[in-house]
Amino acid sequence: MMATKGAVKPIRIVMGKVGLDGHDRGVKVVARALRDAGYEVIYTGLRQTPEMIVDAALQEDAQVIGLSLHSGAHMTLFPAVVEELKRRKATDIVVFGGGIIPEDDIEALKKQGVEELFTPGTPLQDIVAWLKKRFPEGGST
């Protein structure tokens, strides 16, 4: 099937839980909101390694990785995903995250390459709005 001229390919987002964090309700809610907004969302599931997340993003030709973490290991695991992207020469993939992240850690994570962070209570429409602003060509509805 040939693509029609001018057709916009939807942004593909790989979402996952890195580390041993077993709390997946929030990431599933965000994944559904993003899918409902017109994004193609691939949820990798629980207990993923940074390498597994990056592998999935590369296999799925994703433009975005969304990470969720409530275990307190965000200062180790989020940067590990960014470093794995660098190692694999895939720095064009945008990384965002969410979960229980202290305010003091948010700026440090951004300096390490996590583009945006969302904490509990962030309205879902704020996450969608950020993606629409970040990827205006994204084809979301």
The verdict on residue 140 lying in a domain is no
Q: Is the pTM of this model over 0.75?
A: yes
| Residue 5 placed within a domain | no
Instruction: Give me the domain span that covers residue 60.
Output: 12-134
Q: Is residue 74 part of a domain?
A: yes
Task: Indicate whether 98 belongs to any domain.
Answer: yes
Classify residue 104: in a domain, yes or no.
yes
| 1 assigned to some structural domain | no
Of 58, 55, 65, 61, the C-alpha closest to 13 is: 65
User: How do residues 15-60 score in pLDDT, each as one tens digit?
Assistant: 999 999 888 999 999 999 999 999 999 999 999 999 999 999 999 9
CA distance to 27, 30, 36, 56, 82, per residue, from 44 (Å): 10, 13, 18, 8, 17
At 112, which CATH number? 3.40.50.280
What's the total number of domains in the chain? 1
